Amino acid sequence: MSDDITISLQQAEALSHKVLTHNGFSQSHADAITRSVMAAQRDECHSHGLYRLIGCVQTALNGGVDTQAEPTITDQAASVVKVNANKGCSLLSFEMGKPHLIEKAKRSGIAALAINNSFHFSALWPEVEALSVEGLVALAMTPSHAFVAPAGGTSPLFGTNPIAFSWPRPGNTPYTFDFATSVVARGEIELHRRAGKSIPEGWAIDSEGNSTTDPVAALAGAMLPFGSYKGSALSTMVELLAGSLIGDLLGHETQAANAEKTGKPFHGELIIAMSPEAFLGKDAASHLEHAEVLFEGILDQGARLPSQRRFEARARSQVNGLTFPKALYDELNALTVQ
């Protein structure tokens, strides 16, 4: 008997909605969260797909997210819009702030959306791709709770602090990357733990500061930045830009929600959008076309573009549906009846 199950995209979407609304999330929050986890699951980004619904529900039960919060939008400056999530999930705040960000970027050339006081769990690439679909170049970043030791350090200080970027390619899928400044996303270690598998050497250290391949010890210790001091510096940049610059907390000043309801999982996110048309005027199209030379050069060497596998997975999922562990499917269904 297979350990996996395959369901249609429509079935998965319905399951996500049911899990979220059954556990107190408003329809608007359930819609926004479902769009994000479905995009990840469809593209076989399992660490940010349907599995993340379990954490959403647990966070809600532990008082770590206001499932009914209505974001508040502030027109901060000519090129800045701020959205206070009011302790709600960041995804609805992004969707509400996005039209303002697009309008400001197309008018001014560059604009920023700052999301404050939000619970954030999701991948960033759906957000930057949503902007590149509008013809904008986009960059996003967010700190997270202290899970990562600085290069040369022995205890958690940084979040996994992801950075995402998307470049619009007329007539083609956008050039997009999204990666944690840690060696891997924390969700990858959690998936190894759930599967009873060891993690590769170099991903993490245990609570004593020793290298470990045990995912349990890794989760109790600290993850490592990618590229040693280079990843550590980029992680610091994320903390400053998506924390201090927008008037929000640093990663180590937040804590995951817990059963005692003493956690403070709320922090900020910064999204920057740039308009090629505003920068280049009538020459925008020719310069976007010229950029294709770079992508062609990468592919001509037998290398692949970031997200290339993700777009291939998307095409498969739209035909074949979604395949993932049946244990996860059963766990999600259990959340609709408890």
Q: What is the 3-state secondary structure (H, E, C) of the chain?
A: CCCEEEECHHHHHHHHHHHHHHCCCCHHHHHHHHHHHHHHHHCCCHHHCCCHHHHHHHHHHCCCCCCCCCCEEEEEECCEEEEECCCCEHHHHHHHHHHHHHHHHHHHCEEEEEEEEEECCCCCHHHHHHHHCCCCEEEEECCCCCCECCCCCCCCCECCCCEEEEECCCCCCCEEEEECCECCCHHHHHHHHHHCCCCCCCCEECCCCCEECCHHHHHHCEECECCCHHHHHHHHHHHHHHHHCCCCCCHHHCECCCCCCCCECEEEEEEEEECHHHHHHHHHHHHHHHHHHHHHHHHHCCCCCCCHHHHHHHHHHHHHCEEEEHHHHHHHHHCCCC
Instruction: Tell me which amino acid residue 107 is.
Output: R
Q: What tens digit of pLDDT does each residue of 170-186 get?
A: 899 999 999 999 999 88
User: For residues 193 and 252, what is the distance between their CA atoms, to the nearest angstrom?
Assistant: 24
User: For residues 68 and 98, what is the distance between their CA atoms, to the nearest angstrom?
Assistant: 20
pLDDT band, residue 66 (cuts 50/70/90): very high
Question: What values do phi and psi take at 22, rounded to 5?
Answer: -65, -25
Question: What values do phi and psi take at 290, rounded to 5?
Answer: -65, -35
- Of residues 44, 47, 134, 331, which has the active-site annotation? 47
pLDDT at 302 over 80: yes
Please, what is the average pLDDT of the chain? 96
Q: Which residue has the higher pLDDT, 185 or 44?
A: 44
- Of residues 48, 120, 145, 267, which has the active-site annotation? 48
pLDDT at 1 over 70: no
Q: Is 207 a catalytic residue?
A: no
- Of residues 188, 235, 269, 307, which has the active-site annotation? 188
CA 28 to chain centroid: 19
**Residues 143-171, mean pLDDT to the nearest whole number:** 95
Q: Is 252 a catalytic residue?
A: no
**Residues 70-76, mean pLDDT to the nearest whole number:** 98
Q: Is 208 a catalytic residue?
A: no
Instruction: For residue 102, give both structure tokens.
Output: 């697009």
pLDDT band, residue 153 (cuts 50/70/90): very high
How high is the pLDDT of residue 191? 87
Say what the pTM is: 0.93
pLDDT at 2 over 70: no
173's CB contacts (< 8 A; 6+ apart) are: 307, 311
**Residues 197-225, mean pLDDT to the nearest whole number:** 96
